[in-house]
A and B are shown apart, each in its own frame.
Chain A
Amino acid sequence: MRVKKIIYLSLITAIGISLHILESSIPLPISTVPGAKLGLANIVNLVTLVVFGFKEALVVGILRCFVAMLGTGAVTGLFYSLSGSLLSTLIMWFVYKYFSKYFSLIGVSVFGALAHNIAQLTVASLMIENYLIFTYLPMMMIISLFTGYFVGLTAIYTSNHLKKII
Protein backbone atom coordinates (compact mmCIF):
# COMPACT_ATOMS: atom_id res chain seq x y z
CA MET A 1 0.00 0.00 0.00
CA ARG A 2 2.81 2.34 0.93
CA VAL A 3 4.78 1.73 -2.27
CA LYS A 4 1.60 2.14 -4.31
CA LYS A 5 0.94 5.48 -2.65
CA ILE A 6 4.49 6.71 -3.29
CA ILE A 7 4.25 5.72 -6.96
CA TYR A 8 0.91 7.47 -7.41
CA LEU A 9 2.15 10.61 -5.66
CA SER A 10 5.26 10.81 -7.83
CA LEU A 11 3.18 10.28 -10.97
CA ILE A 12 0.84 13.07 -9.86
CA THR A 13 3.81 15.36 -9.13
CA ALA A 14 5.22 14.66 -12.59
CA ILE A 15 1.86 15.56 -14.17
CA GLY A 16 1.83 18.76 -12.08
CA ILE A 17 5.32 19.73 -13.26
CA SER A 18 4.46 19.20 -16.90
CA LEU A 19 1.22 21.17 -16.53
CA HIS A 20 3.11 23.96 -14.79
CA ILE A 21 5.69 24.18 -17.61
CA LEU A 22 2.98 23.84 -20.27
CA GLU A 23 0.85 26.66 -18.90
CA SER A 24 3.80 29.03 -18.62
CA SER A 25 3.87 28.95 -22.43
CA ILE A 26 0.13 29.71 -22.76
CA PRO A 27 -0.38 33.40 -21.97
CA LEU A 28 -3.98 34.54 -21.54
CA PRO A 29 -4.78 37.23 -24.11
CA ILE A 30 -5.85 39.76 -21.47
CA SER A 31 -3.56 42.76 -21.46
CA THR A 32 -5.04 44.52 -18.42
CA VAL A 33 -3.86 41.81 -16.04
CA PRO A 34 -0.25 40.84 -16.67
CA GLY A 35 0.66 37.34 -15.65
CA ALA A 36 -2.83 35.85 -15.55
CA LYS A 37 -2.62 32.11 -15.92
CA LEU A 38 -4.98 29.19 -16.33
CA GLY A 39 -3.90 27.54 -13.09
CA LEU A 40 -3.80 24.07 -14.62
CA ALA A 41 -1.29 22.93 -12.02
CA ASN A 42 -3.88 23.65 -9.34
CA ILE A 43 -5.84 20.63 -10.64
CA VAL A 44 -3.05 18.44 -9.32
CA ASN A 45 -3.09 20.07 -5.87
CA LEU A 46 -6.86 19.73 -5.60
CA VAL A 47 -6.97 16.11 -6.78
CA THR A 48 -4.20 15.12 -4.34
CA LEU A 49 -6.03 16.91 -1.55
CA VAL A 50 -9.25 15.00 -2.24
CA VAL A 51 -7.77 11.57 -2.94
CA PHE A 52 -4.82 11.45 -0.50
CA GLY A 53 -5.05 14.27 2.04
CA PHE A 54 -3.61 17.54 3.21
CA LYS A 55 0.00 16.57 3.95
CA GLU A 56 0.41 14.82 0.61
CA ALA A 57 -1.04 17.81 -1.27
CA LEU A 58 1.39 20.14 0.49
CA VAL A 59 4.36 17.91 -0.43
CA VAL A 60 3.21 17.64 -4.05
CA GLY A 61 2.74 21.40 -4.26
CA ILE A 62 6.19 22.23 -2.88
CA LEU A 63 7.98 19.63 -5.04
CA ARG A 64 6.14 20.79 -8.13
CA CYS A 65 7.19 24.42 -7.61
CA PHE A 66 10.86 23.56 -7.06
CA VAL A 67 11.20 21.20 -10.03
CA ALA A 68 9.16 23.43 -12.35
CA MET A 69 11.47 26.30 -11.40
CA LEU A 70 14.37 24.22 -12.73
CA GLY A 71 12.35 23.56 -15.88
CA THR A 72 11.26 27.11 -16.65
CA GLY A 73 14.37 28.83 -15.27
CA ALA A 74 12.44 31.61 -13.54
CA VAL A 75 14.06 31.87 -10.12
CA THR A 76 12.05 34.88 -8.98
CA GLY A 77 8.95 33.06 -10.19
CA LEU A 78 9.60 30.44 -7.51
CA PHE A 79 8.51 32.77 -4.71
CA TYR A 80 5.24 33.59 -6.45
CA SER A 81 4.36 30.04 -7.38
CA LEU A 82 5.45 28.62 -4.02
CA SER A 83 3.53 31.14 -1.90
CA GLY A 84 0.45 30.77 -4.10
CA SER A 85 0.60 27.01 -4.02
CA LEU A 86 1.01 26.85 -0.22
CA LEU A 87 -1.75 29.31 0.66
CA SER A 88 -4.22 27.92 -1.87
CA THR A 89 -3.65 24.35 -0.64
CA LEU A 90 -4.17 25.53 2.94
CA ILE A 91 -7.41 27.37 2.12
CA MET A 92 -8.72 24.54 -0.06
CA TRP A 93 -8.04 22.00 2.69
CA PHE A 94 -9.85 24.19 5.22
CA VAL A 95 -12.89 24.66 2.97
CA TYR A 96 -12.91 21.02 1.87
CA LYS A 97 -12.67 19.67 5.42
CA TYR A 98 -15.12 21.90 7.22
CA PHE A 99 -17.49 23.17 4.53
CA SER A 100 -17.63 20.32 2.03
CA LYS A 101 -21.33 19.82 2.70
CA TYR A 102 -21.97 23.36 1.43
CA PHE A 103 -19.41 23.72 -1.37
CA SER A 104 -18.68 21.27 -4.15
CA LEU A 105 -15.16 20.98 -5.53
CA ILE A 106 -15.94 23.92 -7.83
CA GLY A 107 -16.44 26.19 -4.83
CA VAL A 108 -13.33 24.78 -3.16
CA SER A 109 -11.22 25.50 -6.23
CA VAL A 110 -12.62 29.03 -6.58
CA PHE A 111 -11.51 29.64 -2.97
CA GLY A 112 -8.12 28.20 -3.87
CA ALA A 113 -7.77 30.44 -6.91
CA LEU A 114 -8.63 33.53 -4.84
CA ALA A 115 -6.08 32.54 -2.20
CA HIS A 116 -3.51 32.00 -4.94
CA ASN A 117 -4.09 35.54 -6.27
CA ILE A 118 -3.89 37.14 -2.83
CA ALA A 119 -0.70 35.28 -1.88
CA GLN A 120 1.04 36.19 -5.11
CA LEU A 121 0.04 39.85 -4.93
CA THR A 122 1.18 40.03 -1.31
CA VAL A 123 4.58 38.55 -2.16
CA ALA A 124 4.94 40.86 -5.17
CA SER A 125 4.01 43.95 -3.13
CA LEU A 126 6.48 42.96 -0.42
CA MET A 127 9.25 42.35 -2.92
CA ILE A 128 8.99 45.68 -4.69
CA GLU A 129 7.48 47.53 -1.70
CA ASN A 130 4.61 48.96 -3.69
CA TYR A 131 1.11 48.27 -2.38
CA LEU A 132 -0.48 49.70 -5.53
CA ILE A 133 -0.02 46.30 -7.14
CA PHE A 134 -3.25 45.32 -5.35
CA THR A 135 -5.11 47.36 -7.95
CA TYR A 136 -4.86 44.26 -10.13
CA LEU A 137 -6.92 42.25 -7.63
CA PRO A 138 -10.49 42.94 -8.89
CA MET A 139 -9.71 41.90 -12.47
CA MET A 140 -7.82 38.86 -11.21
CA MET A 141 -10.82 37.86 -9.08
CA ILE A 142 -13.07 37.85 -12.17
CA ILE A 143 -10.57 35.78 -14.15
CA SER A 144 -10.02 33.37 -11.27
CA LEU A 145 -13.77 32.62 -11.27
CA PHE A 146 -13.49 31.13 -14.76
CA THR A 147 -10.21 29.32 -14.16
CA GLY A 148 -11.40 28.13 -10.73
CA TYR A 149 -14.62 26.74 -12.22
CA PHE A 150 -12.65 24.87 -14.88
CA VAL A 151 -10.16 23.50 -12.36
CA GLY A 152 -12.94 22.38 -10.03
CA LEU A 153 -14.85 20.63 -12.83
CA THR A 154 -11.70 18.82 -13.95
CA ALA A 155 -10.90 17.80 -10.38
CA ILE A 156 -14.40 16.36 -9.87
CA TYR A 157 -14.10 14.04 -12.89
CA THR A 158 -10.47 13.13 -12.21
CA SER A 159 -10.82 12.42 -8.50
CA ASN A 160 -13.95 10.28 -9.02
CA HIS A 161 -11.99 7.88 -11.21
CA LEU A 162 -8.79 8.06 -9.20
CA LYS A 163 -10.61 7.19 -5.97
CA LYS A 164 -11.82 3.93 -7.57
CA ILE A 165 -8.29 2.94 -8.56
CA ILE A 166 -6.70 3.59 -5.18
Chain B
Amino acid sequence: MTKWDKILIVSVIFFALIGMFGLKEITANDKYLYLIIEVDGKEYKKISLDGLDHSKTIEINTKYGHSVIEVDGQGARFLESDCKDQLCVKMGKITKANQTSICLPNRISIKLVSEESDVDIVSY
Protein backbone atom coordinates (compact mmCIF):
# COMPACT_ATOMS: atom_id res chain seq x y z
CA MET B 1 0.00 0.00 0.00
CA THR B 2 1.53 3.32 -1.03
CA LYS B 3 1.11 6.79 0.36
CA TRP B 4 -1.37 7.67 -2.40
CA ASP B 5 -3.54 4.67 -1.53
CA LYS B 6 -3.91 6.02 2.00
CA ILE B 7 -4.70 9.50 0.66
CA LEU B 8 -7.36 7.97 -1.62
CA ILE B 9 -8.97 6.01 1.22
CA VAL B 10 -9.04 9.02 3.55
CA SER B 11 -10.52 11.27 0.85
CA VAL B 12 -13.21 8.70 0.00
CA ILE B 13 -14.20 8.50 3.67
CA PHE B 14 -14.22 12.32 3.80
CA PHE B 15 -16.51 12.69 0.76
CA ALA B 16 -18.80 9.91 1.96
CA LEU B 17 -19.20 11.60 5.35
CA ILE B 18 -19.95 14.93 3.66
CA GLY B 19 -22.54 13.16 1.53
CA MET B 20 -24.13 11.55 4.55
CA PHE B 21 -24.38 14.82 6.43
CA GLY B 22 -25.82 16.44 3.32
CA LEU B 23 -28.41 13.68 3.13
CA LYS B 24 -29.33 14.20 6.74
CA GLU B 25 -29.99 17.84 5.94
CA ILE B 26 -32.41 17.10 3.09
CA THR B 27 -34.15 14.19 4.83
CA ALA B 28 -35.60 16.48 7.45
CA ASN B 29 -38.62 15.37 9.39
CA ASP B 30 -41.48 17.42 8.16
CA LYS B 31 -45.06 17.74 9.17
CA TYR B 32 -46.73 17.60 5.79
CA LEU B 33 -45.53 14.43 4.17
CA TYR B 34 -46.75 12.99 0.92
CA LEU B 35 -46.04 9.56 -0.43
CA ILE B 36 -45.46 9.44 -4.16
CA ILE B 37 -45.59 6.08 -5.88
CA GLU B 38 -43.95 6.01 -9.27
CA VAL B 39 -44.25 3.19 -11.75
CA ASP B 40 -41.72 3.16 -14.58
CA GLY B 41 -40.87 6.81 -13.97
CA LYS B 42 -44.44 8.06 -14.13
CA GLU B 43 -46.39 9.14 -11.10
CA TYR B 44 -48.94 6.51 -10.18
CA LYS B 45 -50.42 7.76 -6.95
CA LYS B 46 -49.88 10.50 -4.41
CA ILE B 47 -51.08 10.09 -0.86
CA SER B 48 -50.99 12.51 2.04
CA LEU B 49 -49.70 10.93 5.23
CA ASP B 50 -51.29 13.68 7.26
CA GLY B 51 -54.28 12.32 9.13
CA LEU B 52 -53.71 8.69 8.26
CA ASP B 53 -54.20 7.08 11.66
CA HIS B 54 -54.45 3.49 10.49
CA SER B 55 -52.34 1.68 7.98
CA LYS B 56 -53.66 0.92 4.55
CA THR B 57 -52.29 -1.19 1.78
CA ILE B 58 -52.04 -0.41 -1.88
CA GLU B 59 -51.70 -3.12 -4.47
CA ILE B 60 -49.91 -2.38 -7.70
CA ASN B 61 -49.99 -4.67 -10.69
CA THR B 62 -47.78 -3.81 -13.61
CA LYS B 63 -46.51 -5.83 -16.49
CA TYR B 64 -43.27 -6.25 -14.55
CA GLY B 65 -44.80 -7.69 -11.41
CA HIS B 66 -47.00 -7.33 -8.39
CA SER B 67 -46.22 -5.32 -5.26
CA VAL B 68 -48.08 -4.39 -2.10
CA ILE B 69 -47.20 -1.13 -0.33
CA GLU B 70 -48.26 -0.33 3.22
CA VAL B 71 -48.81 3.29 4.25
CA ASP B 72 -49.54 4.69 7.69
CA GLY B 73 -49.21 8.03 9.44
CA GLN B 74 -45.45 7.66 9.98
CA GLY B 75 -44.25 6.33 6.68
CA ALA B 76 -44.47 3.66 4.07
CA ARG B 77 -42.85 0.38 3.16
CA PHE B 78 -42.99 -2.44 0.67
CA LEU B 79 -45.07 -5.12 2.35
CA GLU B 80 -44.86 -7.76 -0.35
CA SER B 81 -43.34 -8.05 -3.74
CA ASP B 82 -43.01 -10.89 -6.15
CA CYS B 83 -39.53 -9.87 -7.26
CA LYS B 84 -36.70 -12.33 -6.91
CA ASP B 85 -34.29 -10.61 -4.54
CA GLN B 86 -36.83 -9.03 -2.12
CA LEU B 87 -34.48 -6.09 -1.52
CA CYS B 88 -37.36 -3.61 -1.43
CA VAL B 89 -39.05 -5.56 1.36
CA LYS B 90 -35.80 -5.83 3.33
CA MET B 91 -35.22 -2.08 2.95
CA GLY B 92 -37.89 -1.49 5.60
CA LYS B 93 -39.93 1.57 6.33
CA ILE B 94 -39.15 5.08 5.13
CA THR B 95 -40.28 7.80 7.48
CA LYS B 96 -38.58 11.06 6.47
CA ALA B 97 -38.91 13.49 3.60
CA ASN B 98 -36.77 12.75 0.53
CA GLN B 99 -36.18 9.16 1.58
CA THR B 100 -36.87 6.63 -1.10
CA SER B 101 -37.33 2.91 -1.45
CA ILE B 102 -37.18 1.18 -4.77
CA CYS B 103 -38.10 -2.13 -6.29
CA LEU B 104 -35.92 -2.31 -9.39
CA PRO B 105 -37.28 -5.50 -11.01
CA ASN B 106 -40.86 -4.22 -10.83
CA ARG B 107 -39.79 -0.62 -11.63
CA ILE B 108 -41.73 0.78 -8.69
CA SER B 109 -40.32 3.50 -6.48
CA ILE B 110 -41.92 5.08 -3.45
CA LYS B 111 -40.65 8.36 -2.05
CA LEU B 112 -41.72 10.74 0.65
CA VAL B 113 -41.84 14.42 -0.16
CA SER B 114 -42.80 17.35 1.98
CA GLU B 115 -44.77 20.21 0.56
CA GLU B 116 -46.25 23.26 2.07
CA SER B 117 -49.82 22.30 2.61
CA ASP B 118 -52.06 24.68 0.70
CA VAL B 119 -55.13 22.49 1.02
CA ASP B 120 -56.52 21.15 4.22
CA ILE B 121 -57.33 17.61 3.20
CA VAL B 122 -56.25 15.66 0.17
CA SER B 123 -58.50 12.73 -0.46
CA TYR B 124 -58.30 10.03 -3.05
Residue of B nearest to A76 (CB): B105
With a cutoff of 8 Å between Cβ atoms, the chain B residues found around residue A127 in the complex are 104, 107
CA distance A31 to B91 in the complex (A): 6
Is B119 part of the binding interface, using a Cβ–Cβ cutoff of 8 Å? no
Contact A34 B9 (CB under 8 A): no
Contact B38 A141 (CB under 8 A): no
With a cutoff of 8 Å between Cβ atoms, the chain B residues found around residue A73 in the complex are 84
Is A74 part of the binding interface, using a Cβ–Cβ cutoff of 8 Å? yes
Instruction: Tell whether A102 pairs with B40 under 8 Å between CB atoms, given A31-B91, A124-B104, A137-B19.
Output: no
Contact A107 B4 (CB under 8 A): yes
- Chain A 32-56 interface mask (CB, 8 Å, partner B; 1/0): 0011000000000000000000000
Instruction: Tell whether A107 pairs with B8 under 8 Å between CB atoms, given A141-B15, A141-B19, A142-B13.
Output: yes
Instruction: Tell whether A34 pairs with B90 under 8 Å between CB atoms, given A102-B2, A103-B5.
Output: yes
With a cutoff of 8 Å between Cβ atoms, the chain B residues found around residue A104 in the complex are 1-2, 5
With a cutoff of 8 Å between Cβ atoms, the chain A residues found around residue B88 in the complex are 34
Interface of B is mostly: mixed
CA distance A139 to B91 in the complex (A): 14
Q: How far is the CB of A145 from chain B (nearest CB, A)?
A: 6
Contact B87 A145 (CB under 8 A): no
Q: Name the interface size band of chain B.
A: 35 or more
Contact B41 A129 (CB under 8 A): yes
Is B12 part of the binding interface, using a Cβ–Cβ cutoff of 8 Å? yes
Please, how many residues of chain A have a CB less than 8 angstroms from a CB on the other chain? 30
Q: In the complex, which of the residues B2, B5, B17 has the most CB atoms of chain A within 10 Å of its own CB atom?
A: B5
Within 83-131 of A, Cβ neighbours of B (below 8 Å) are at: 99, 102-104, 106-107, 110-111, 114, 124, 127-130
Is A26 part of the binding interface, using a Cβ–Cβ cutoff of 8 Å? no
Is B20 part of the binding interface, using a Cβ–Cβ cutoff of 8 Å? yes
- Chain A 139-155 interface mask (CB, 8 Å, partner B; 1/0): 10110010001000000
Is B100 part of the binding interface, using a Cβ–Cβ cutoff of 8 Å? yes
With a cutoff of 8 Å between Cβ atoms, the chain A residues found around residue B109 in the complex are 128, 130, 132-133
